[in-house]
Amino acid sequence: MRIRNIVAAAVVALALASCGGEKQADVIKVGWFGALTGDQAVWGNNEFNTVKMLFEEINAAGGVTVGGKAYTLEAVGYDNKGDAQEAVNVVRRLTSQDKVVAVLGPNASGNAIPIAPILEGAKVPDIATVATNPKVTVLDGKVKPYNFRVCFIDPYQGAVAAGYAFDVLGARRAAVLYDVSDDYSQGLREFFIENFEKKGGAVVADESFKSGDVDFRPQLSKIKAQNPDIIFMPYFFKEVALSANQARELGITQVLMGGDGWPSDQLISMGGAAVEGCYFVNHLDYEDPDVADYKARYLKKYGIETELNGYLVHDAVVLLVDALKRAGEPSGEAIAKALESADVKGITGRIKISPQTHNPEGKDAAIIKIVGGKYIFQQKYAAE
């Protein structure tokens, strides 16, 4: 294994040699990008670590056969620092300079949406991991030809959260606090409100903040005055922990609920008792037997537990390898065509890509509750 770090360019590349025989196989370059620094670095490092581990395992087993020829996989990764403009810059570099045939990531919708023109111009497909906004793959009713994903989308996630809050938790009055500057947060807010009201519930407070804010007390005070049954917080773990602690300091005792931006070990360590007894929608049950082997391999290799992103990028790799094997040639156009008919079993469930939306059809959502500082699976829940 040969590792090359180019710090000045904020690029981390992993080149892996074939272990399958005397003659070295040809190499297929695959791009990855995400936040290796900044607030979401815990997710980005988890994703890239998983990609490197899986590529190493695949290469050690003989690589990937495409059109009758064996190839090893090389991961070329960049840190976009969680920034949308930097996402465009690194994808342009991956496609034009590094000549990757596909890109994995990112996890954030706000970073996945603006890269579509670069992908289309280069004819290189991207498989997003936890980017759930509908605009990642479809815009104005038209599918983006080179954008795909392995996760369910916000309309479904919002419907699951609203349905569980209303039908299972018995909430009739809901408040929402969201990040107005984030596509993910805006989308999840919209679909929660739509579905909660459709069921007969009332949204009694709808408050916003901007990324980087650290004082949520003014918004929380307004929410407290409306005495909701539940507070929906569709944003990421750092702000969840901060706002949850401030809510409890203000005497707000209601159950808090969120989406797949919540799960991280840092939510538990930062949120503590403030998030105890709260719920979020997730992509899988962490104790599902299907994920146990990957969890164990990751822990053995890196000495830490995997995050949510690792499970999703694992399945993005599964999806990519399947598409490569069926593509006939290692070109972006051929891979994109193969992805449109993909139907694989991943560790997060069945991934059957719709050619009309480039989203996986029929993936179940998992409801998770925080109990005793742990994420405890409650049930699979399907929106109506």
Question: Under a CB-based contact definition with an 8 Å cutoff, are residues 261 and 235 in contact?
Answer: yes
Q: How far apart are CA 98 and CA 80, in angstroms?
A: 16
pLDDT in tens, 267-291: 999 999 999 999 999 999 999 999 9
Closest among 46, 244, 249 to 130, alpha carbons compared: 46
| Segment among 21-35, 84-98, 214-228 with least mean pLDDT | 21-35
E strands, the chain, are 2-6, 11-15, 26-34, 64-66, 69-79, 102-104, 126-128, 138-139, 142-143, 147-149, 173-179, 202-209, 230-232, 255-258, 279-282, 343-346, 349-352, 365-371, 374-381
Per-residue pLDDT, 2:
35
pLDDT at 25: 56
pLDDT of residue 364: 83
DSSP 67: T
- Count of Cβ atoms closer than 10 Å to residue 97 Cβ: 9
Closest CA to 233 of 201, 268, 209: 209
Structure tokens belonging to residue 214: 């650290």
Q: Tell me: pLDDT of 15 over 70.
A: no
Mean pLDDT for all residues in the chain: 92
Ranges of each domain in the chain: 2-152+288-352, 154-282+365-381
Q: With cut-offs at 50, 70 and 90, classify the pLDDT of residue 92.
A: very high
Instruction: For strands 69-79 and 64-66, give the pairing.
Output: antiparallel
Interval 146-203: pLDDT, tens: 999 999 999 999 999 999 999 999 999 999 999 999 999 999 999 999 999 999 999 9
Q: Pick from 128, 126, 189, 127: which is nearest to 154 by CA?
A: 189
Do residues 104 and 320 make contact, with C-beta atoms less than 8 angstroms apart? yes
Please give the share of the chain, as a percent, with pLDDT higher than 70.
Answer: 93
> What pLDDT, on the 0 to 100 scale, is given for residue 5?
35
Task: Tell me, yes or no, if the two domains 2-152+288-352 and 154-282+365-381 fold the same way.
Answer: yes
Report the top-level CATH class of 2-152+288-352. alpha beta
Q: Phi and psi at residue 184, in whole multiples of 5°?
A: -60, -50
Q: According to the CATH classification, is domain 154-282+365-381 in 3.40.50.2300? A: yes
Q: Is the peptide bond before 106 cis (omega within 30 degrees of 0)?
A: yes
